[in-house]
Structure 1
Amino acid sequence: MRRVVVTGMGIISPIGIGKEEVLQSLKDSKIAADTITSFDASNLPVKIAAEIKDFDPEKFIDKKLARRTDRFVHFALVAVKEALDQAKINLPDFSERTAVLIASGMGGFITLDTENNKFLSAGASKVSPFLIPMLLINMASGIVAIEHGLKGINFAPVSACAASGHAVAMGSMLIRHGYADVAIVGGAEATIAPLPIAGFANMKALSTRNDEPKKASRPFDVDRDGFVMGEGGAVLIIEAEEIAKKRNAQILAEIKGFGMNDDAYHMSAPDPEGSGAEKAMRMALEDAKINPDDIQYVSCHATSTPAGDVAEAKAIERIFGKHVFVNSSKALMGHLLGAAAAAELVIAILQMHSNFLHAMPNLDNLDPQIGINVVGKKTIETEIRNFMKNSFGFGGHNVSLVVGRYQG
């Protein structure tokens, strides 16, 4: 069975466009949550989000293509470009052996919201003929394949906030078992629009700290009251070890193991004891053939919801006790939904290479129910050899990845 390595990464997020900006924001503990500026949110119960501001897709992609694709596809294309630039791979050499798995939880929801408003106010004739392809979740993967001439396996995992975690795991599986030599894996999401905000707000999932947006996202804090909606995209280029070595690629990390399952408990609430999450983590460790003591850090899903943070913490505590460091990047950039896992995986690899863990600036009072070693309000310098990335989604979906430094 082949080893799977990472040779390129790209990210666009509320805390930065590109790895350099994101890394600096992590070191600076930059919080992206703010009052929504992309539309008038004054009539909504939640008026805050973590937006990517001043983003002009036409600076990155063809003007015609930008007009015919949704914002989430723009994010995917930007992340793919950065990842490919780093991987320095000649894709035509691997056209039929490159898989593309770019996930999303909700796809072209901004387009759907906009075009539905046109339909209601001006009639059917005003609806864009590109409505359907613009809202399809698989279109990010499809457009990437078209733009780069990639004819291998191509689909979009859809599992809510676990989606891009599934993309990484499934892409790794394809390479391991010889169905692909290279895979472009990740996720993209753009759902900061009136209808999604209203929907999440009405199910009590979002923070309502409208007057204090910078303090709204506070994973593990006793006063957390929900997540902050974010947006963005992240992509990793993964390859079979022998392919990367043959072309003398710089290897950034190794995808060592993964575990996937379902809580089978509730459509939106986690199993309160974190049983499914624990099982997924143990599956990932077994798959990677390493012990809990070999993990130094867990990049948590931890969205800042009352139930979710406790369930995940219980699962982590049962496996690792307090010997691993734990943080959640949602403290800084909000929740990127279907793109969260990939974005946080890129962030975790950046931290691994830089020997630090970013702070949790809003962790004023750790919830007494949480008995794990959460990074506090200051960054921590530490060596990371192996880490775990958790991702969980509505529907009970659980994904855990074990990633570490590559040793040939």
Structure 2
Amino acid sequence: MKRVVITGAGTINALGQNVPDTLEAMREGRCGIGPLEMRDTDRLAIRIGGQVKGFDPEEVFNRQQIALYDRYTQFTLIAAEEAIRQSGLTFEGELANRSGVVLGTSGGGLTTQDENYRAVYEEGKNRVHPFVVPKLMNNAACSHVSMQYNIKGPSFTVASACASSNHAMGQAFWFVRSGMAPVMVTGGSESMLCFGGIKAWEGLRVMSKDGCRPFSATRNGMVQGEGAGIFVFEEYEHAKARGAEIIAEVAGFAMSSDAADIVMPSKQGAARAISGALADAGLDRERIGYINAHGTGTAANDKTECAAVADVFGTHADELMISSTKSMHGHCIGGTGAVELLSCIMALRDGVIAPTIGYEEPDPECALDCVPNEAREAKVGAALSNAFAFGGLNAVLVLKAA
């Protein structure tokens, strides 16, 4: 088995349109959740979100590209450019043939879908743009990254709701570790903050109208976000031979299925994924210093996740720091695990633990150190990133300091 390291990272989300700005916002405990700026908000019950603001696609893409790129694909390409530029890689020859792209998304081109449903059903149009299907398909972003950077190896898209990014990064990790690919571009993207997307989530009655407060007794639901996180996973010796900067090491991955309920999480399913990831990494539980929690701010998720962590870590759970950055950037659905992996990198590389902001009152069922409201300096050698999706699909990554 080969070692796998991260040599590039990129993002765009409600906290920042690149990695440095995002990490600065996390260190400051800044909130990127605010009033939605979109059409027909007066018809919405939920009017807040972690929206990417100040982003004009016409400043980045030409008219032909905009005709082909849904907002989620635009986010992916912006984050991929940052990550691949940082890695210093150029994909050509054998490297291009063997490297791949594995990305996660839950809804794909929902903005495109929403706009065209409106055109047909509300405005009565009988024709839509010929690029609607290639624009809205879930694999569009993956395909455009592969085309943009000449990446010709194993490439596909994973769709498993809120665990999509972690599942995608886990597959990329396995490709590199097994020797099937020297480099994989991976992560995820989502842009569900369109009228239809929000209406659909409203129907679940799990959304907050005033903010995301994970682990706090006063929490009253999740808040949607949007954005992308993209990383370059590279075989260690390959990275070392070319003198690349190593950001962190991907040490393990595991996934599980609750096989229980389509929306209610299971403590046992989450615990199996966490335990499996530790075993895959070959790490004792005492080595973990920080967990980026799934931490949605719903009553069911937060207490179930805390119970799973307590079960797996035993007495060490009292020494763990566990925070949810969804409190700052919102729940980016299929892209959320990728955006949140940045907080694990910050903990390992910079010794800064991102806070859970909005924390107001302790909950006895969430009695872990959730790093309330303010970032904390701490030396961490290994970290977990949890993702637990609707449908009971769980995916956990383990990172180690470089």
Q: Which residue is 2:30 aligned to?
A: 30
Q: Which residue is 1:199 aligned to?
A: 200
Please list, as runs of the form range in 1=range in 2, the aligned pairs for 1:70-85 lying within 5 A after superposition.
70-85=70-85
- Separation (CA, whole Å) in 2 of partners of 1:243 and 1:160: 33
- Separation (CA, whole Å) in 1 of partners of 2:3 and 2:58: 37
Please list, as runs of the form range in 1=range in 2, the aligned pairs for 1:273-284 lying within 5 A after superposition.
274-284=267-277
Q: Which residue is 2:40 aligned to?
A: 40
Contact 2:4–2:233, Cα closer than 8 Å, also in 1:
yes
The residue type equivalent to 2:396 in the other structure is S
How far apart are residue 61 of structure 1 and its match? 3.3
Please list, as runs of the form range in 1=range in 2, the aligned pairs for 1:96-135 lying within 5 A after superposition.
96-135=97-136
- Separation (CA, whole Å) in 1 of partners of 2:310 and 2:371: 15
Please list, as runs of the form range in 1=range in 2, the aligned pairs for 1:2-21 lying within 5 A after superposition.
2-21=2-21
Contact 1:314–1:371, Cα closer than 8 Å, also in 2:
no
User: Relative to structure 2, which stretch is displaced further, 107-116 or 316-325?
Assistant: 316-325
Q: Which residue is 1:213 aligned to?
A: none
Structure 1 residues 82-126: Cα deviation after superposition (integer angstroms, max 9, x where no partner): 001110012114111111011101011111010011011344533
Q: Which residue is 2:279 aligned to?
A: 286
Change in CA separation of 1:61 and 1:351 when aligned onto 2, cut-off 3 Å: farther
**Partner SS for 1:126:** coil
Q: Which residue is 2:88 aligned to?
A: 88
Instruction: Spell out structure 1 runs of 4+ moving beyond 3 A.
Output: 121-126
Please list, as runs of the form range in 1=range in 2, the aligned pairs for 1:156-171 lying within 5 A after superposition.
156-171=157-172
Q: Which residue is 2:230 aligned to?
A: 235
How far apart are residue 334 of structure 1 and its match? 0.5
Contact 2:23–2:342, Cα closer than 8 Å, also in 1:
no
Please list, as runs of the form range in 1=range in 2, the aligned pairs for 1:7-406 lying within 5 A after superposition.
7-93=7-93, 94-209=95-210, 216-271=211-266, 274-320=267-313, 321-406=317-402
Change in CA separation of 1:241 and 1:62 when aligned onto 2, cut-off 3 Å: farther
The residue type equivalent to 2:224 in the other structure is M
The residue type equivalent to 2:271 in the other structure is E
How far apart are residue 13 of structure 1 and its match? 0.6
* Structure 1 segments unaligned to the other structure (5+ residues): 210-215
**Partner SS for 2:318:** coil
How far apart are residue 128 of structure 1 and its match? 1.5
Q: TM-score when scaled to structure 2?
A: 0.97
User: How many residues are treated as equivalent by the alignment?
Assistant: 398
Contact 1:110–1:190, Cα closer than 8 Å, also in 2:
yes
**Partner SS for 2:42:** coil
- Separation (CA, whole Å) in 2 of partners of 1:172 and 1:61: 31
**Partner SS for 1:184:** strand
Structure 1 residues 154-184: Cα deviation after superposition (integer angstroms, max 9, x where no partner): 1001100000001110001011112211000
- Separation (CA, whole Å) in 2 of partners of 1:60 and 1:205: 35
- Separation (CA, whole Å) in 1 of partners of 2:366 and 2:209: 23
- Separation (CA, whole Å) in 2 of partners of 1:356 and 1:319: 24
How far apart are residue 387 of structure 1 and its match? 0.3
The residue type equivalent to 1:72 in the other structure is Y
The residue type equivalent to 1:377 in the other structure is N
Contact 2:346–2:353, Cα closer than 8 Å, also in 1:
no
* Structure 2 segments unaligned to the other structure (5+ residues): none
User: Relative to structure 2, which stretch is displaced further, 364-373 or 122-131?
Assistant: 122-131
